[in-house]
Homo-oligomer: A and B are copies of this chain.
């Protein structure tokens, strides 16, 4: 049900429906009444951002990401821009860093440039405290705000997320079924997706009767050298582990280097699972089994949802995309 159905049924152009929606006075009272009646009959509730055929629009979308040098975000930007361009939209990108203050400033900058929508790429934009998200929720009253791999529930905000929980749950389950009992878990941050990934790991262990041990769960900077040293130090301190799951491929690369340094055979002695299936997971020998978070699908869905919003369609506030486990050489399932 969208603006096209209304125009068809009312026998007027889409531009006319759009004018009615936008309160443009350049529509006769008779036409306005007919269009309103059709909307009522069809049960059509336009979202506030319906812009019909792009009247009064700059045809420009703002994209924000915290760090364009992160391989995952760099890919997201690439796909978002490509999809927007194929829909006739230009995009401008701001790399915000991670401080809330900077993120807010860049958000204001984009609003001041009168973009048609803002896409927040990556899970770093949703803060723990509600009040720190107020600027996003407020802006979403005026223009659509799209979250890629983050989730906020408010009018005008549309989230597209990867099902990180299930991906991690299933990966942990496969490790356990293949005989692993001491699975280390390395994560980089407690973002929206970080929390879901960790919960998937914990619930899988629980479900299969393996105790969740806090000494096997460690935070680590997103840096392969740090990950290698952390594993060497944990192993040196007497901790036993036969597999490692990571929230990012860079940590998994560090795990491969750790195994090489210790002379462990992968995957016979030691299994490794990365996350994001980025180019890093293909650089090592052996190549790292990793979870393909379907960045391209996530970005395509985000842009399709946005176009639906512009088209006046009723679109869901949250869309979930399933991840894929990519078996390479660091696991033997």
A residues apposed to B, CB below 8 Å: 60, 67-71, 74-75, 77-78, 81-82, 85, 90-95, 97, 102, 106, 109, 113, 224-225, 250, 253, 256-257, 260, 279-280, 282-285
In the complex, the 5 A-B pairs of residues with the closest C-beta atoms, listed nearest first:
A283-B283, A93-B93, A92-B92, A69-B78, A74-B74
The answer to whether A71 touches B71, judged by C-beta atoms less than 8 angstroms apart, is: yes
Copies of this chain, count: 2
Known: A93-B94, A283-B224, A284-B284. A67 touches B71 (CB 8 A): no
* Docked CA distance A113–B109 (Å): 12
5 further contact pairs, Cβ within 8 A, besides A81-B95, A224-B282, A225-B282: A68-B77, A69-B74, A69-B77, A69-B78, A253-B283
> What are the residues of chain B within 8 A of A94 when measuring CB–CB?
81, 90-93
* Docked CA distance A93–B60 (Å): 12
The answer to whether B69 touches A75, judged by C-beta atoms less than 8 angstroms apart, is: yes
* Docked CA distance A97–B283 (Å): 25
> What are the residues of chain B within 8 A of A82 when measuring CB–CB?
97
The answer to whether B282 touches A279, judged by C-beta atoms less than 8 angstroms apart, is: no
> What are the residues of chain B within 8 A of A91 when measuring CB–CB?
94-95
Least CB distance from A124 to B in Å reads 15
Least CB distance from A8 to B in Å reads 34
Known: A68-B78, A280-B280. A92 touches B95 (CB 8 A): no
> What are the residues of chain B within 8 A of A280 when measuring CB–CB?
279-280, 283
* Docked CA distance A109–B84 (Å): 14
> What are the residues of chain B within 8 A of A282 when measuring CB–CB?
224-225
* Docked CA distance A160–B75 (Å): 26
Least CB distance from A280 to B in Å reads 6
* Docked CA distance A68–B121 (Å): 14
The answer to whether B67 touches A78, judged by C-beta atoms less than 8 angstroms apart, is: yes
Least CB distance from A100 to B in Å reads 15
Q: Which residue of B lies closest to A81 (CB)?
A: B95
Q: Which residue of B lies closest to A96 (CB)?
A: B81
The answer to whether A69 touches B69, judged by C-beta atoms less than 8 angstroms apart, is: no
Q: Which residue of B lies closest to A79 (CB)?
A: B69
Q: Which residue of B lies closest to A287 (CB)?
A: B257
* Docked CA distance A78–B69 (Å): 6
The answer to whether A257 touches B279, judged by C-beta atoms less than 8 angstroms apart, is: no
* Docked CA distance A285–B77 (Å): 30
* Docked CA distance A280–B74 (Å): 15
* Docked CA distance A95–B92 (Å): 8
> What are the residues of chain B within 8 A of A75 when measuring CB–CB?
69
> What are the residues of chain B within 8 A of A224 when measuring CB–CB?
279, 282-283
Least CB distance from A121 to B in Å reads 11
Cross-chain contact of A285 among B78, B93, B97, B284 (Cβ < 8 A): B284
Q: Which residue of B lies closest to A60 (CB)?
A: B109
* Docked CA distance A224–B282 (Å): 8
* Docked CA distance A280–B284 (Å): 9
Least CB distance from A115 to B in Å reads 10
Least CB distance from A88 to B in Å reads 11
A-B contact pairs, 29 of them (CB 8 A): A67-B78, A68-B68, A68-B74, A68-B93, A69-B71, A69-B74, A69-B78, A70-B74, A71-B74, A77-B95, A81-B94, A82-B97, A91-B95, A92-B92, A92-B93, A92-B113, A93-B93, A93-B94, A93-B95, A224-B279, A224-B282, A224-B283, A250-B279, A253-B283, A256-B285, A257-B285, A260-B285, A283-B284, A284-B285
